Copies of this chain bind each other. A is one copy, B any other.
Amino acid sequence: MARGGSASQAGTGSVSRPRATVMRDVARLAGVSHQTVSRVLNNHPNVRQETRDRVVQAMEALNYRRNLAARTLVTRRSGTLGIVGFESTLFGPASMLYAIEDAARAAGYFVTVATVRRLDRQSVLDAVDRLAQQSVEGIIAISPKPAVTNALVQVASVLACVGVGAAGDDAVPTVRVDNRAGAALATRHLLDLGHATVHHIAGPPDWPEAVERVDGWRETLYAAGAVVPPVHPREWTARSGYEQGQKLAADPAVTAIFCANDQIALGVLRALHEAGRRVPDDVSVVGFDGMPDSEYFLPPLTTVRQDFAELGRRSIDMLLRKIDSTGQPAEHMLLEPELILRDSAGAARS
């Protein structure tokens, strides 16, 4: 869909709408030149207050809005930012999107989105291309996999980019949560409760977030001198948690499970329940993400909360900084997650 009319290029239009009011209309009504209107619009100092008032009144009377396309054409600044989003209903990305739009608007920017179905290089480049066509001034990629971030490298030289989620090539600045620390928090908590060791159900092995959580968990166990059980990374879904939970539930030695996200934990809770193992009496469970519903799981889930909204805001901050000053070395920002104590993790029975 890259070039010319290859795709059906939108409809054939319709009846001519009444022409919108333009600068000249305002100028005429206010009895000034269009340039003066422009100056008022852009807060130039050299306009007498009285003139300014007259122009503003005229704008109001005619309900004038400036034409962004014309402005973009001449200034080469569209005032819009692009988001590359991952098509998923995971809780995180969705809430991030809203936070991003909100922060962007506050900074005076518009937001356009391009979603990708698969997290591979080509899909991401396509999405970026679509955004580039709209002459966005910067791109935020919700980029949980390195393929995404790495695809951005290719673009970063001509367009400000920020990745949210996973790290990748160091040339692209990123904002992400300290997954390792979060996993350590969870694991440490379970060990402190007296569990001999902690089992882990991991996310997909090609997601750095999943890998980092595994690392944080493993390191904590290692440092505590605890046995490190094997992990079998799978998916982020409740189904995956359920299936692996069934296996762990069958093993009486398992008393503590740290799940790579809350949805996995949901599946684990069901598996444990069905196996007749009580939570937290027989087995303690901790999740990761802090999705709102987790408070109402059975039992309410102890979990590591990531502040997705904050993640979104920070990524905009960073992108704006990047836009204003290109050439700076890429920053990386790490947000600390927070352990939320609820019922699903209790003391080990001696």
Contacts and interface: CB of A to CB of B under 8 A. Distances in A.
A108 B9 CA distance: 5
A232 interface: no
A135 B325 contact: no
Contact of A108 (B7, B13, B88, B326): B7
Q: What number of copies of this chain does the assembly contain?
A: 2
A1 B105 CA distance: 10
A14 B325 contact: yes
B293 A65 contact: no
A169 to B, nearest CB: 21
A65 B130 contact: no
A319 to B, nearest CB: 10
Interface string A41-74: 1110000000000001001100001111110110
A85 B98 contact: yes
Interface stretch (A170-178, A213-221, A247-255, A264-272): A264-272
Interface stretch (A110-118, A144-152, A183-191, A194-202): A110-118
Contact of A70 (B73, B108, B115, B273): B73
Contacts of A231: none
Contacts of A112: 80, 110-113
B68 A108 contact: no
A42 B101 contact: no
Given A113-B101, A114-B101, A293-B263, A73 B67 contact: yes
Interface stretch (A89-97, A204-212, A332-340): A89-97
B320 A42 contact: no
Contact of A5 (B41, B324, B327): B41
A89 B292 contact: yes
A163 to B, nearest CB: 19
Contact of A324 (B14, B72, B292): B14
B69 A78 contact: yes
A3 B292 contact: no
A67 B135 contact: yes
A222 B70 CA distance: 61
A87 B98 contact: yes
A350 interface: no
A79 interface: yes
Interface in A1-43: 1, 3-5, 7-15, 17, 40-43
A277 interface: no
Contacts of A292: 89, 237-238
* A105, A113, A266, most chain B CB atoms within 10 A: A113
A91 to B, nearest CB: 6
7 closest A-B pairs by beta carbon, nearest first, are A94-B94, A4-B41, A238-B296, A69-B72, A5-B43, A112-B112, A11-B324
Given A1-B108, A12-B324, A66-B133, 13 more contacts: A4-B59, A10-B109, A14-B324, A67-B73, A69-B70, A85-B98, A88-B98, A110-B112, A110-B114, A239-B295, A263-B293, A266-B293, A266-B296
Interface of A: 1, 3-5, 7-15, 17, 40-43, 56, 59-60, 65-70, 72-73, 77-80, 85, 87-89, 91, 94-95, 97-98, 101-102, 105, 107-115, 117, 129-130, 132-135, 137, 158, 237-239, 241-242, 263, 266-267, 269-270, 273, 292-293, 295-298, 300, 320, 323-327
